[in-house]
Structure 1
C-alpha cells in the first residue's frame, strides 16, 4: 500500500488526526526534553542597594533577561550589597566562586588590579560612547581579559549611568584653598588627584554615603548622576551640587563572571548571558540620560538644590594634576602601562571627531556660536 492509500476502515478524518498527533509528538519532544533539564541556578552579588535607580535596576534587569531569554533554563538570583557579601566584597566572591557573577564598578578593585580604574572612568577621560568604542573596537576588552585572568574572572560592560556629576559638598568651592582638608568620598584616580591638592579621599561603599555626609564623617561625596543621587537622599544632607564630573566622564558598570562557571555553561546559555549584559549598555544609558534630566529639574525646582560649577582655575589645576597621576600610574607595571597607552591612543583617535561632531553641534544648537 502506498503512503497515500487508506487502510480499510480508516476514514480520511482519522488518518489526518493520526498524522497531526504524530507531528505533534515530534514537535513536543524538544519541549519535553527541555522540561527534563534541571534549571541552572546562579547567584549574582552586587555593590548596590537593592533596586537602586541606575546600577541596581540594571543588575536586576540583567538577571530577569537571562531568565526570559533562556526560556527558564537558567535563573540568576540577585543579592544586593550586604545580603550575601559586602558591597566591596563582590570581586573576591566571584573569584572564589562564592557567587557565579557580580555587578559592580571596576574602580573598586584598584587595590587588587590597579589598571581596573580605566574600565569605569579616569579623570578627563573618555565619554560613554567613546569608552564603548575603546572596549569594542580599540582593544580594550582583550586587555581587560588579561588584567582579570589571574583572578579567574571574566569582565564585560554591563550598563552605563552616563556622564557623572562632580559631587555633593557641604561648602562652596570657590578656589583651590577650599579643597584643602576636604574629606571626600571619591574612588578611583580622581580621589588621588584631589589628595594631591590637599583633600582627604575616603573609601566608603555606596550604602553608607548618605549617613556619612549627614553626620559630617565626610564633607563631600560623589556618586553618579541626579537620578541615582536623588534616590540616595544626598539633597537632604546638603544642597551644593557640583559639575562637571571631571573624575568620571563615563559610568560603565561591569559584570564579573567566575570564568570556570561561565566556560562551563552550554554555548547557547553563555551567549545569552553575555548578550543580556551587552543589551543593557544601550538600554541603561538611554534610561539614565532621560531620568537624569528629569531628576536634575526636580532637585533644582522642588528640592532647592543649587547646581554649582568648579571654577575654571580649579578645573585647570585638576587637569594638570591628572596628567601627572596618569603618567606615574603608567610606569607602575607593564600591564598598567599597556592599558594606559591603549586608552590614550583611543582618546587621541576619538577626541578630534568628538570635537568636530558633538562639541560644535552642541554650541550651534545652543546658539553659543
Structure 2
C-alpha cells in the first residue's frame, strides 16, 4: 500500500473517530420518568383514549428516553385530585379540563371553555397567537404548574334531558350534571347542578339522581349510552363552544427537563390537540344518525327565549369572574377582546359561507 495514501486516510479517519466518540455523550439524553394522572377512567371512550394515546406518543417520540407511566382516574389519585397531585410533585403531569380547577381560581375556566365563548379554531388562535398562552402560564405558575393544549372536543351538544326544555322556567329544579361556568349559568336559572367525573354520570342518570347531563357530542356520547335513560338530546349548547383539554405539568419538574425533552412532550401534545378535534368532526355526524336511527333518540334545539336566558346569565357569570381578582380581570378582558375580534371576521367569512352553503345545498 502507498504509505502516503495510508497516512492521508488515517489522518481523515482519526478525527472522524474522535468526533464519533465525543458525539455520543453529547447527544444522549438522561432518561426521565413522567407519571401522568388522568381525570378519566382507563379505556374511556373519546377523552380517556385520547389521553392514553398522548401518553404513548410521548414515549414513542422520545425513543424511550421519557419513561411514561399513565394512571387513569382512580388508579393513583381520584379524577379531581389530579391538580394537587401534580402541583405537589407526586405526579409529573395530568390530563384534564382546566375548568375542573375553578375552585383554585375561577379564571382557569377560560382555558377550557366558557359559555358563549370561543370555538376550537378561535381558542387555538388565542392561545398560540393572541396572548392566551402567556396568561395561562402566569395563572398556572401561581400554583407551581405549567400547561399546554392537548385536545379539543369542538362545539359540544346541549345535553341529555328527560323532559323538553321549552321555556327558561323548565330549568327550575332540574338536577343536572354540568361543570364549569355552564353549570353556574344553569344554577342562575334555577337548576341544581353537580360536577361529576365522567365515569360516574351514567349510573347517576339511570338511577334518577340527576335528570339531565351534558357530556361532549354524538361520537363520545354514543358510547356512554345516555339514551338508555334520557329521551331528548339537545344538539347544540351554550356552555362549551370549543372545550379544550390540557396537559398540565409540575413547573419545577418541567423546567428541569432538557430543551429536547420539553420539545418532545410539546410536539406530542400539539399533535393530539389536532387529532382529537379532527376525530370528533369526522365522527359526530355519523354517530348522531346512529343515535336517532338505532336508538330512537329525539333531537331538539333550544328556542331563542331559552338562548336569551342563557346569554343573560352567562354575561353575569363572566362579570362576576372578572371581579374576583386582578388576574381574573386581566384574563377576562383579554379573552373577550380577542373573542370580539375573531368573531367579527368569522361572521362575514366562515359563518356566512357555511350558512349559504347549507342553504344552497340543502344541508342542515
Is the pair's TM-score, using the shorter chain for normalization, greater than 0.5? yes
Aligned to 2:65: 73
Structure 1 6/311 Cα, relative in aligned 2: closer, same or farther at 3 Å? closer
Which residue pairs with 1:249 in the alignment?
241
The match for 2:213 is: 221
Q: 1:201 aligns with which of 181, 193, 197?
A: 193
Deviations 1:21-72 (A, max 9, x none): 997897587568878x663221100101223232212211221121121111
Q: Deviations over 1:261-298 (max 9, x none)?
A: 11111110111111211121112111111122221121
In structure 1, the partner of 2:102 is 110
- Cα contact 1:107–1:188 (8 A) shared by 2: yes
Q: Distance in 2 between matches of 1:327 and 1:38?
A: 48
Partner of 1:347: 339
Task: Tell me, in whole angstroms, the C-alpha distance in 1 between the residues paired with 2:88 and 2:138.
Answer: 18
Q: After the TM superposition, which residues 130-149 of structure 1 pair with which residues of structure 2 at under 5 Å, given as runs?
A: 130-149=122-141
CA contact (8 A) 2:163 2:231 kept: no
TM-superposition CA deviations, 1:329-350 (whole Å, max 9, x none):
2111111111000000111110
Q: Partner of 1:302: helix, strand, or coil?
A: helix
How far apart, in 1, do the equivalents of 2:317 and 2:247 lie?
27
Task: State the number of aligned residues.
Answer: 359
Offset at residue 3 of structure 1 (A): 6.6
| Secondary structure at 1:204 match in 2 | coil
Q: Give the counterpart of 1:212 among 193, 204, 209.
A: 204
Contact 1:52 1:228 in 2 (8 A): no
Q: Quick one: distance in 1 between partners of 2:18 and 2:223? A: 53
Counterpart check, 1:125 vs 2:117: yes
Structure 2, unmatched stretches of 5+, are: none
When normalised by structure 1's length, the TM-score is 0.91
Task: Specify which of 123, 142, 162 is matched with residue 150 of structure 1.
Answer: 142
Task: Provide the rounded CA distance (Å) in 2 between the counterparts of 1:60 and 1:22.
Answer: 45
Summarize the Cα distance change of 1:70–1:21 in structure 2 as closer, same or farther, 3 Å threshold.
Answer: farther
CA distance in 2 between partners of 1:303 and 1:4 (Å): 85
Structure 1 residues 304 and 367: alpha-carbon distance in aligned structure 2, compared to 1, 3 A threshold = same
Deviation at 1:326, TM superposition (A): 1.1
Instruction: Give distance in 1, aligned partners of 2:308 and 2:253.
Output: 46
For structure 1, the 5+ residue unaligned runs are: 8-14
Aligned ranges for residues 88-103 of structure 1 at < 5 Å? 88-103=80-95
User: C-alpha offsets along residues 231-273 of structure 1, whole Å, 9 cap, x if unaligned?
Assistant: 2221222221113120000120011000111111111011111
Residue in 2 that maps onto 1:231: 223
Q: Provide the aligned C-alpha RMSD in A.
A: 2.4
Q: Could you tell me the TM-score, scaled by structure 2's length?
A: 0.92
In structure 1, the residue corresponding to 2:67 is in which secondary structure? strand
Matched residue, 2:55: 63
Equivalent of 2:299, from 295, 303, 307? 307
Write the mapping of 1:154-173 to structure 2, written as runs, cut at 5 A. Answer: 154-173=146-165
Over 3 Å counting, the alpha-carbon distance change for 1:23 and 1:171 in structure 2 is same
Is 2:59–2:66's contact at 8 Å kept on the other side of the alignment?
A: yes
